Structure 1
Amino acid sequence: MRAGGAVVSPAPETLTVGFVGLGRMGGPMAAHLVAAGHRVLGYDLSAGSLAAAARTGVEPAASAAATAAGADVVITMLPAGRHVLALYRDEGLLAAARPGTLFVDCSTIDVADARAAHEAAAAAGHQALDAPVSGGVTGAEAATLTFMAGGGEAEFARAAPLLSAMGGKAVHCGAPGAGQAAKICNNMILGISMIAVSEAFVLGESLGLSHQALYDVAATSSGQCWALSVNCPVPGPVPGSPAGRDYRPGFAAPLMAKDLGLAAAAARAGGVDAELGLRAAEMYAAFAEGAGAAQDFSGIVRAIRERSAPTAEQNGTSTP
């Protein structure tokens, strides 16, 4: 469209969005939708989370189902598949929505549960997309999340403006459940990588190598990876990493344990020889149940160091 000789882009469509799950991830995501000009009706079981979202312009709803009434799109960000399915089937979310509403689930859940959610939405006359995210709380706050989407091309195109408001990239991975498949595969890589990087730093400590020296070599060599260069598990080399703030979570260890558990279950069900993935799932499960319950997943370096402490002490190495 032209006005006075200049090309004028059409104004983006303003949508009414229902958003259920306004915690550390969902809260910032909903706030970005408000900032993009959309009307957002939100609900969370936590009164504190709901109040915090209201301060960003989200309109509090009386119930989860109330967010869907009149919404063009309903987004959920919940802990597990059972919560998503219960909300869809038993708590009236699907029933409350107008026919043809798009349901976008950004939770990280089992692939089978994601497919069941798609089926439930379709049976109720709606569209659905599974769109889990990568980037953690930092990515949610900065709107730099990566969305991995599973579902139809039309559903992905319909959700694209909202995904772009909440993140930096959205990838259509394939049919229903494909987004969840991509998420658990990606996080299996991440979990294994973090353990490998942590073990390397603890080994370096035992050999008298400084954290900075190892980082400077690995960050520009074949050991370079996200777990090293962005979420470095030791304080110093990457000032913004959780290690520099006593492992206060960006991506909490229990969430990594959950994701690796999903990957391990899928590997066993598919007969995949994922030895490192299965071992990483075991290590994070133990860490999350113990000292890592309230720590970032990079804090697993502490567990590795504690198990290695006698050897390090014998070598006369101090451990930070």
Structure 2
Amino acid sequence: MSPVIAFVGLGHMGAPMAANLVKAGYRVVGHDLVPDAVDAAVAAGVEAAPSAVAAAADADIVLTMLPAGRHVRALYQDAGLLAAARPGTLFVDCSTIDVADARAAHQAAVAAGHLAVDAPVSGGVMGAEAGTLTFMVGGDEAAFARAEPLLAAMGKKAVHCGAAGAGQAAKICNNMILGVSMIAVSEAFVLGESLGLSHQALYDVASTASGQCWALSVNCPVPGPVPGSPANRDYRPGFAAPLMAKDLGLAANAVRAGGVDAELGLRAAALYAAFAEGAGAGEDFSGIVRAIRERSGQQPADHHQAADDQQPLDDQKDQPS
């Protein structure tokens, strides 16, 4: 028989992840503090539980997707989730939280007689819905092996990054790269506008040259060149700017704690924090291009007109995984 899964946290990411587990044949018992989130999950085949503790009581695996480390630690210990679970239960935390919090939660789970992994995700809401998430996993080999089939039902790849906390470490390092690169790509487009270069011309060159990166080829921050990017939906997320600000804040904390010289990472964290608190509060993180353009005193160029009316140089761009 398939293991019974308790799923706590049925928000924008958790709900489609839980639905994919149901599609894979798992019995999923879920809980969320928001009644509408529970109702939506029930419509997708999830069984509702009156509390997180009730959901965990008969589960073989407890999966959490929560906003911050304090919520995970409070749920595990203060709310009694670890005490309610049967000995040997596997705890899989897919939240993106501080490495120290992940390690503390792992230690508490092991001390209570359970297995545990931290398994933050990359891929956003679209990846959660499509079942194409990438999981970055921290924990011992036995726990990872037990979690792997579950993760395969929700994503396309699970990487065992090392011991407890290593999954969170990989996540914040990856998103520091993403945040810095999105700012660089956005600055390049605004510079191109100031020089009279069309969006399409810059995209056609950079996407087939050394400037190629995910922030350009998949999540292009200007409308036109990549039809599926949030820029073509008025920057509707996608990966929301406040979430990028959160992740870069975690990276910045780790940079300072480790004494790492990471000027671009710290600057990206500051820029996204300001953007998320202002105009970017409800936008995709690629919307930062508009903040850069505004600070530059520029108006957006006509993104529909390619330079010299040329066609794209390459209609089949390689897409990074």
> Which residue of the partner structure matches residue 28 of structure 1?
16
Report the AA paired with residue 68 of structure 1: A
1:286 aligned onto 2:251: no
1:212 aligned onto 2:200: yes
1:264 aligned onto 2:264: no
Measured in 1, the distance between the counterparts of 2:192 and 2:38 equals 46
> Which residue of the partner structure matches residue 3 of structure 2?
15
Q: 2:110 aligns with which of 122, 126, 151?
A: 122
Measured in 2, the distance between the counterparts of 1:107 and 1:283 equals 23
> Which residue of the partner structure matches residue 111 of structure 1?
99
* 1:240 partner SS: coil
Report the AA paired with residue 236 of structure 2: R
Alpha-carbon deviations, 1:239-289, whole Å to 9, x = none?
A: 111111011111100000000000001001000000000000000000000
> Which residue of the partner structure matches residue 9 of structure 1?
none
Alpha-carbon deviations, 1:78-115, whole Å to 9, x = none?
A: 00000000000011111110000000000000000000
> Which residue of the partner structure matches residue 188 of structure 1?
176
> Which residue of the partner structure matches residue 56 of structure 2?
68
| TM-superposed deviation, 1:129 | 0.2
Measured in 2, the distance between the counterparts of 1:149 and 1:92 equals 24
| TM-superposed deviation, 1:319 | 6.6
1:302 aligned onto 2:290: yes
- CA pair 318-224 structure 1, distance change in 2 beyond 3 A: closer
Conservation of the 8 A alpha-carbon contact between 2:230 and 2:238: yes
* 1:19 partner SS: strand
Measured in 1, the distance between the counterparts of 2:105 and 2:165 equals 9
> Which residue of the partner structure matches residue 178 of structure 1?
166
Runs of 4+ in 1 over 2 A off after TM superposition: 317-320
* 2:296 partner SS: helix
1:243 aligned onto 2:227: no
| TM-superposed deviation, 1:119 | 0.7
Q: 2:218 aligns with which of 230, 254, 274?
A: 230
| TM-superposed deviation, 1:230 | 0.6
Measured in 2, the distance between the counterparts of 1:293 and 1:99 equals 42
Alignment of 1:85-104 (within 5 A): 85-104=73-92
> Which residue of the partner structure matches residue 315 of structure 2?
none
TM-score, normalised on structure 2? 0.93
1:143 aligned onto 2:143: no
Q: 2:189 aligns with which of 201, 208, 223?
A: 201
| TM-superposed deviation, 1:14 | 1.1
| TM-superposed deviation, 1:318 | 4.0
Measured in 2, the distance between the counterparts of 1:27 and 1:85 equals 21
Measured in 1, the distance between the counterparts of 2:121 and 2:188 equals 28
> Which residue of the partner structure matches residue 8 of structure 1?
none
Q: Which runs of 5+ in 1 are unaligned?
A: 1-12
| TM-superposed deviation, 1:67 | 1.1
Alpha-carbon deviations, 1:26-57, whole Å to 9, x = none?
A: 00000000000000000011111111011000
Measured in 1, the distance between the counterparts of 2:277 and 2:258 equals 27
Conservation of the 8 A alpha-carbon contact between 1:205 and 1:319: no
Q: 2:30 aligns with which of 42, 61, 76?
A: 42
Report the AA paired with residue 78 of structure 2: D
Report the AA paired with residue 152 of structure 1: D
Measured in 1, the distance between the counterparts of 2:92 and 2:302 equals 46
TM-score, normalised on structure 1? 0.93
1:255 aligned onto 2:239: no
Measured in 1, the distance between the counterparts of 2:81 and 2:284 equals 33
What percentage of aligned pairs have identical amino acids? Answer: 80
* 1:75 partner SS: strand
* 1:104 partner SS: strand
Report the AA paired with residue 254 of structure 1: P
Measured in 1, the distance between the counterparts of 2:11 and 2:217 equals 27
